[in-house]
Amino acid sequence: MSQTLTDGTRAGAVETTPAEASKRRWLILTIIGIAQLMVVLDATIVNIALPSAQADLGFSDGNRQWIVTAYSLAFASLLLLGGRIADLFGRKPAFLIGVAGFAAASVLGGASTGFGMLVTARALQGVFGALLAPAALSLLNTTFTDAKERAKAFSVYGAIAGAGGAVGLLLGGVLTDALDWRWTLFVNIVFAIVAFAGGWMLLTNHRDAANSKLDLPGTLLVSSGLFSLVYGFSNAETHDWSSPATWGFLAAGGILLTAFAWWQTRAEHPLLPMRVLLDRNRAASFITVLITGAGMFGVFLFLTYYLQLNLGFSPTKTGVAFLPMMAALMVMAQVSTTILVPRIGPKAVIPAGFAIAAVGMAWLTGIGLGSSFSTAVLPQLLLVGAGLGVVMPPAMSLATSGVASADAGVASATVNTMQQVGGSIGTALLNTLAASAATSYLSGKDATDKLVRAQSTIESYTTAFWWSSGFFVAGALIAFLLYRRGKLERAEDGADAAPVVHM
For the chain, the domains span 15-203+271-490
134 vs 237, residue with greater confidence: 134
At 97 the pLDDT is 93
Dump pLDDT digits (tens) for 53-109: 878 888 765 677 777 778 878 887 888 788 788 877 888 888 899 999 999 999 998
Q: At what angle do helices 378-400 and 408-442 cross, to 10 degrees?
A: 150
Residue 371 has pLDDT above 50, yes or no: yes
At 192 the pLDDT is 92
5 pLDDT band, cuts 50/70/90, is very low
Residue 2 has pLDDT above 70, yes or no: no
How far is Cα 165 from Cα 162, in angstroms, rounded to an integer?
Answer: 7
At 455 the pLDDT is 86
Q: What is the pTM of this model?
A: 0.78
DSSP lists the bridge partners of residue 3 as 16
**Burial class (CB within 10 angstroms; exposed 0-12, middle 13-18, buried 19+) of 501:** middle
Q: What is the mean pLDDT of residues 33-61?
A: 78
Per the document, the length of the chain is: 503
At 502 the pLDDT is 38
At 135 the pLDDT is 83
At 344 the pLDDT is 87
3-state class (DSSP) for residue 500: strand
208 pLDDT band, cuts 50/70/90, is low
Within 8 A by CB and 6+ apart from 364, the residues are 303, 376, 377, 380, 381, 384, 462, 465
Whether residue 421 contacts residue 290, with contact meaning beta carbons closer than 8 Å, is answered with yes
Q: What is the mean pLDDT of residues 339-353?
A: 89
Give the rounded distance of the alpha carbon of 100 from its chain centre: 20
Residue 460 has pLDDT above 50, yes or no: yes
62 vs 305, residue with greater confidence: 305
Q: What is the mean pLDDT of residues 358-367?
A: 92
Q: Which H or E run contains 408?
A: helix 408-442
Task: For residue 484, give the DSSP letter.
Answer: P
Q: What DSSP assignment string belongs to 117-134?
A: HHHHHHHHHHHHHHHHHH
Q: What is the mean pLDDT of residues 487-492?
A: 51
Whether residue 397 contacts residue 338, with contact meaning beta carbons closer than 8 Å, is answered with no
What is the amino acid identity at position 240?
D
At 142 the pLDDT is 76
* Most confident range, picked from 35-44, 140-149, 189-198, 269-278: 189-198
Q: What DSSP assignment string belongs to 237-305?
A: HHS-TTSIIIIIHHHHHHHHHHHHHHHHTT-SS-SS-HHHH-SHHHHHHHHHHHHHHHHHHIIIIIHHH
Integer-rounded Cα radius of gyration of the chain: 22
At 219 the pLDDT is 83
Whether residue 70 contacts residue 119, with contact meaning beta carbons closer than 8 Å, is answered with yes
At 205 the pLDDT is 67
How far is Cα 347 from Cα 352, in angstroms, rounded to an integer?
Answer: 9
15 pLDDT band, cuts 50/70/90, is low
How far is Cα 7 from Cα 96, in angstroms, rounded to an integer?
Answer: 18
Enumerate the H helices of 144-248 as residue ranges: 147-178, 183-186, 188-202, 216-238
420 vs 355, residue with greater confidence: 355
Task: For residue 483, give the DSSP letter.
Answer: S
C-beta atoms surrounding 375 within 10 Å: 10
Of the given ranges (196-205, 237-246, 280-289, 350-359), which has the lowest mean pLDDT? Answer: 237-246
How far is Cα 44 from Cα 23, in angstroms, rounded to an integer?
Answer: 32
Which fold does the domain 15-203+271-490 belong to in CATH?
Answer: Growth Hormone; Chain: A; (1.20.1250)
How far is Cα 144 from Cα 64, in angstroms, rounded to an integer?
Answer: 41
Residue 497 has pLDDT above 80, yes or no: no
Nearest partner of 272 among 260, 288, 285, judged by Cα: 260
Nearest partner of 109 among 121, 100, 99, judged by Cα: 121
